Structures are given as structure tokens and as C-alpha cells.
Amino acid sequence: MTTAQVLFAGGSGVVGRAAVRWFRQRHPGIPVLIGGRNLQAAGEVAQEVGAAEAVAIDIDKPRLGLGDDVAVAAVVMLAPEAGLKGMSYAQDLGVPYLNINAALTESGPELALFAHRATAAPVVLASHWMAGAATFLALNSAKGFEIVQSIRLGAIVDEKDTVGPAALEDMERVHGAAPPAMVFEGGRRVWLFGDAAKGKFESVDGRSLNATAFSTFDTVSLHAATGAPDVRFDLVNGESSSRRRGGEAATEIVVEIEGEADGRTKRSRSMLEFKHGTASLTGLSVVLSLASVLGFNDRSPARPGLYLPELLSDTKWFLDELRSAGVTIYEDSK
């Protein structure tokens, strides 16, 4: 192979298929590799999208088990990667690495590997909710504040939404077996468990839902970006507002911000719905960050460094791209 291709490791999974489809729709001329353990499933995706090749990968082997003759332009890790062989592979090649599976409570190995090879390649940790969609929604709302006091995020994963076994495994690992949920209270990180982790938020259609605090990169990204002393993310597994009103099993995100503007107390509420569900929105967000790190759309490629999605893309651009793909965003402030 002589042409560098974007490697989607885990590209035959539910989120992986969505990401590959969005990538092909937005970048029809760029070749891709569909990496997976099941070569037949990867081949089906490659045949569907075109300009693609299926390759068998092993995430526990150096170079993911690929030969020296494979030319790779970026490594997109869409499968859980405990051994970081994909990240090392990208660093060896000097190409961008994007990961959506390094949970907030377990990202130490990624940070250490980056620190030891900080000039090797761009490394994007995008394990935010929907790979950054919630953070961009919140940052857009925060622009209307001079002082941000608190940010509350809530998300619904519809029971009928097909998110895929890998995504469910990730949520169970982070939400169940991992340490209690991390939030910011009074400017300090706090670990919540038991009754303290129980919360509520109001859905798009106005229901008051019982929720549970969830550790996600959005919490630390928004604390760093806005300086808000109180930041919390709550999760519900239940019926989405869309399905309740007779529509699809949509993914749903709500952001409520309190602070000050023009010397007065201000509150805002932003909501996002996407009728195609969790996997599709995650895949789309992955492709938007990938486009930014590779320098597509008349952008300069990112230099070697450590990035989060909100450090790669302009907030307005990101949300406009979501809207053009069918995402509905509601905004209200008072």
C-alpha cells in the first residue's frame, strides 16, 4: 500500500460503523482501513462505504498486528484498548491518535505515555459524552456569561437505542465497577457515591427524571474552560422525549448554567436531540474532531501535543456541523 489511509480500529462495531459512514459521507475521496477482530464484519463495512479495505487487527499486539507495508494517516481507536498498542503505533508513525474509550477515571496510562513521547504525534482524548457534543453545547451557552457559577449536564440513553456492546461495556465499567462519580463542588473535585450521587434533571419534554452522577471528561473540560466551581454530569437510562411523543429513540442532552452577566444573575438552559441515536452522534463527533486534527476543511493539521475536542474545533463550527447533520438544538436564557 502506498496511500496513507485512516485506520478505524473497531470500525465494524456499532459506533465504528457510524463513524465510518459519517467519514465517508463527508470525505468521499479519502481511503480508510476498517480494522476489527472479525474480518468478515469489517469487510461488510468496507464494501458498504467504498474506498475502504478491511484488515484484521489485534489490539494486544505491537502495530495492532499490521505489517510494515500498511500506510496509516491516523489511528482512530473506537474499541477499548487496555494495552495502548494503538497509541504507541500512532506515535511510532508520527500520525494523529484519537481515542473515545479512555474513561476519566482510567486515563492515567494515556497521559503517561503521551508525557514520555510528547513530541511524537497529536493525541486526542475524546471520551467525552458523545465524543464532545455535550461539552460544545455547554461552551456555547457559557459564552453569554461573564461569570459561570455552575454547570449541570444531563443525558438520556434511551432503552431502545442501539448503542452497541462495547459502549455498554464502557458505561458499565465506568458507572459500576469504577470509583464513585467525580464532580466539582465549590471549586474542588469531589467523589460522589450512594445518596450523594443521586440527582434529578428536567428532560426536553419537561419531565423531572431521577438520575445518577456519572464521571465523564466533560466535567473536567468544562471546569477548566469556564472556571465554574460547580460542574456535574447526570445520566438516565430511560425513555427519551422523542420516543415518548411518538418519534425515534433519540439521544438527548440538557445543559443548565447559572452565573452572572451585566451584573445580574443569569440562567440558561440548552437542549440537544438527535433522532438517529447515541452511536450516530458519537460517530459524527469523532469525525468532526478527526477532520480538525488532520487539517481538513482548509485547516492546518494539528501539531504533536495533547488535545481534547474543544481545543481542536471552534464551538460554533462544531455545533453548526451537528445541526447540518440533523441535530436539533434548543436554547433558552433568563
Task: Please write the tens of the pLDDT for every residue from 36-62.
Answer: 999 999 999 999 999 999 999 999 999
Whether residues 136 and 239 share a domain: the answer is yes
Domain range for 38:
5-129+281-313
Whether residues 54 and 36 share a domain: the answer is yes
Give the residue among 268, 178, 195, 193 at the shortest CA–CA distance from 228. 268
Whether residues 44 and 143 share a domain: the answer is no
Whether residues 90 and 157 share a domain: the answer is no
Cα 282 to Cα 276: distance, rounded to the nearest angstrom: 10
Share of the chain above pLDDT 90, in %: 89
Q: Which residues sit opposite 52 in a β-bridge? A: 32
Whether residues 288 and 328 share a domain: the answer is no
Whether residues 223 and 273 share a domain: the answer is yes
How many domains in the chain?
A: 2
Structural contact between residues 100 and 167, judged by C-beta atoms closer than 8 angstroms: no
Task: Answer whether residue 171 shows pLDDT above 60.
Answer: no
Q: What is the CATH number of the domain that holds 170?
A: 3.30.360.10
Q: Which of 136-140, 173-177, 295-299 has the lowest mean pLDDT?
A: 173-177
CA of residue 327 relative to chain centroid, distance: 15
At 104, the amino acid letter reads L
Length of the chain: 334
Whether residues 141 and 242 share a domain: the answer is yes
Whether residues 272 and 291 share a domain: the answer is no
Helix (H) or strand (E) holding 261: strand 251-261
Q: What is the CATH number of the domain that holds 286?
A: 3.40.50.720
Q: Could you tell me the three cell numbers for 212? A: 445518577
pLDDT bucket at 254, cuts 50 / 70 / 90: very high
Q: Could you tell me the three cell numbers for 232? A: 456535574
Whether residues 144 and 264 share a domain: the answer is yes
Whether residues 263 and 191 share a domain: the answer is yes
Whether residues 291 and 158 share a domain: the answer is no
Whether residues 207 and 249 share a domain: the answer is yes
Tell me: the pLDDT tens digits for 184-234? 999 999 999 999 999 999 999 999 999 999 999 999 999 999 999 999 999
Task: Answer whether residue 83 shows pLDDT above 80.
Answer: yes
